[in-house]
Amino acid sequence: MSRLQLKGVAKSYGATKALRHADLDIGAGEVHVLMGSNGSGKSTLSKIVAGSVRPDTGEIVLDGKPVTISGPQAARALGIAIFYQELSLAAHRTVAENICLADLPSRGAFVDRKALEARAAKYAALFEGVTGEGFSLDAVVQDLRADQRQLVEIMKTLAGEASVLIFDEATSALDRAQVERFFEILRDLKREGRSIIFISHRMDEIFAIGDRATVIRDGEIVGTRQIADTTPAEIISLMVGAQEEAAAPADAAPARAGAASVLLVRNLSGAGFSDVSFEVRAGEILGFGGLHGQGQSAVLRALFGANPPASGHVELGGKPLRPNNPRETIQQRVAYVSGDRSRDGVVTGRPILENVMPIHYLRERMVLANPSALAAKALPALQALRTKFAGLGHPISSLSGGNQQKVVIARWLIDRPAVLLLDDPTKGIDLSAKTDLFTLIRKLAAEGMGIVLYASEDAELLDNADRILVFNGGSVRRELTGAERTRFNLYQAAYEAA
């Protein structure tokens, strides 16, 4: 019996088509898996069903009747609940308050604390024995571990007692025991006739809990399969598409045979990653691949000293490197470029010149500086990236996102680093700016610089990296070299169980 149907649903953001004419049928008592790479449209589809995104066209049918889902409150009234990939918890409130947040029990004008705690206890009890130390109904959410916060979000979703439940990457921070308990709960909900949309990047989970799987590629639904009748290879083939595929282009900067080691990492562990080992040689671009949030950024930030590693050994140019903090690693000629310009990049409200020069200030331990001399150093670095700006005295906010990112990269080129760590550097910038950035990156590699590149867009890795380390669950699961550097192999390593 069909519970939920989408007919011709589409959503665009400007020229970007996030979802194209989607047709989907979810049965009662079914766990329906949505599969697709980063940015394929899975979350957009889920948010449309949950009312947080309005579709441009199409029809949604619930229990045989067309419905208009005008917002999240309307979705809840229709019996639809969602677990968001980005947790929607109130950090300063208790576990109990968060579980009941969508519908706080009241007595007159006040919250009924006794009823609230009783309701919250019902859903917390479902995970009894796997919540871990420090978890209680009166614990403040901001004091919990990441896995415990994720459990609270699941409990909050379950508390809606919805007939349609959407779980978007609900297991990403959970350990094995917590996942197994969650799956037991989902199976009970199936027996009650609930409909579940389940999104996960873990292939073993998909085959353990799913009944059917629908694959979305580039915003378009390309196929639905019965889980019992398909294989991981078939699912990945649907995700990759018919273009599969020759190996990645051979014109990416080649690793120099016998070149000196620039960066050596052995058994590095820390928050979000464990036992990571690799080597980067002069002139090599080493890619970090895999789905978003699998430890790639955490490793790069650890090597830069932003979040120092807990254990492991690092060498830079054959000498020990202790990445205790960014100031020390900068002095050792380690460069780090983040795709999050607002957090790690630009100095808002300040001129372009001041945004280009801070690394030079630090390395040279400058107290006073001649603006003309600084400009003479800044201009060549900006011009190498074909940065468009009216003048160095103009505020950084006057530039486009792509040109702001070029300024961030230019600051590292004034005093050439030994190794360049690129943490999804093209996030949110236009195609022209991306082309300029990768042209420069390949040029730097050809000149002998060692580069580590994490990119959430697979094409950027396949077109530019000499080798790709595929991360899954905070560890390196596979290394792709030469003819192995294909989209199929990249997806297979990212999605299949370790």
| pLDDT, tens digit, 9 for 90 and up, residues 114-151 | 999 999 999 999 999 999 999 999 999 999 988 899 99
Domain spans in the chain, listed from the N-terminal domain onward: 2-240, 261-495
**170 in Cβ contact with 153 (< 8 Å):** yes
φ/ψ region of 413 (left if φ > 0, alpha if ψ in -120 to 50, else beta) reads: alpha
**Average pLDDT of the residues in 8-23:** 91
Write out pLDDT tens, residues 257-281.
578 899 999 999 999 899 999 999 9
Does residue 383 surpass a pLDDT of 60? yes
Q: Return d(Cα 127, Cα 182) in angstroms, integer.
A: 8
Handedness of CA 248, 249, 250, 251 (dihedral sign): negative
Q: Which two tokens stand for residue 275?
A: 């036992």
Beta strands in 238-323 (DSSP E): 261-270, 273-281, 285-289, 311-316, 319-320
Per-residue pLDDT band for 82 (boundaries 50, 70, 90) equals very high
**Average pLDDT of the residues in 212-225:** 94
More confident residue, 293 or 195: 195
**Average pLDDT of the residues in 362-391:** 78
**Average pLDDT of the residues in 94-114:** 88
Q: Which two tokens stand for residue 233?
A: 């290879």
| Residue 397 main-chain phi, psi, to 5 deg | -70, -15
**180 in Cβ contact with 207 (< 8 Å):** no
In this prediction, residue 342 carries a pLDDT of: 63
Does residue 377 surpass a pLDDT of 90? no
Does residue 252 surpass a pLDDT of 70? no
Residue 14 burial class via C-beta count within 10 angstroms: exposed 0-12, middle 13-18, buried 19 and up: exposed
Q: Which two tokens stand for residue 194?
A: 């609930």
What lies within 8 Å, CB to CB, of 294 at 6+ separation is 471, 472, 473, 474, 494
In this prediction, residue 108 carries a pLDDT of: 82
More confident residue, 117 or 384: 117
At the topology level of CATH, where does 2-240 sit?
Answer: Rossmann fold (3.40.50)
Percent of the chain with pLDDT over 70: 93
In this prediction, residue 366 carries a pLDDT of: 66
Can you tell me which residue has the tokens 């309307």? 74
Q: Which two tokens stand for residue 192?
A: 């009650």
CA 328 to mean position of chain CA atoms: 28
In this prediction, residue 130 carries a pLDDT of: 94
Q: Return d(Cα 130, Cα 434) in angstroms, integer.
A: 45
Least confident of 80-84, 358-362, 385-389: 358-362
Residue type at position 435: T
Q: Return d(Cα 258, Cα 265) in angstroms, integer.
A: 18
In this prediction, residue 102 carries a pLDDT of: 85
Per-residue pLDDT band for 250 (boundaries 50, 70, 90) equals very low
More confident residue, 84 or 57: 57
Q: Return d(Cα 96, Cα 120) in angstroms, integer.
A: 5
Does residue 58 surpass a pLDDT of 80? yes
Q: Where are the alpha helices (DSSP H) in 247-356?
A: 296-304, 326-331, 341-344, 352-356
Does residue 371 surpass a pLDDT of 80? no
In this prediction, residue 399 carries a pLDDT of: 78
**Average pLDDT of the residues in 28-36:** 95
2-240 and 261-495, same CATH topology: yes
Q: Over the chain, what is the mean pLDDT? A: 88
CATH assignment of 261-495, given 3.30.830.10, 2.60.120.1090, 3.40.50.300, 3.40.50.720?
A: 3.40.50.300
Does residue 200 surpass a pLDDT of 60? yes
Per-residue pLDDT band for 37 (boundaries 50, 70, 90) equals confident
Can you tell me which residue has the tokens 């067309």? 66
**Average pLDDT of the residues in 350-367:** 76
Write out pLDDT tens, residues 304-358.
999 999 999 999 999 999 999 988 988 889 999 887 766 667 777 788 888 887 7
What lies within 8 Å, CB to CB, of 439 at 6+ separation is none
Does residue 235 surpass a pLDDT of 60? yes
**291 in Cβ contact with 272 (< 8 Å):** no
Write out pLDDT tens, residues 395-418.
888 877 778 888 888 888 888 889
Percent of the chain with pLDDT over 90: 54
In this prediction, residue 497 carries a pLDDT of: 45
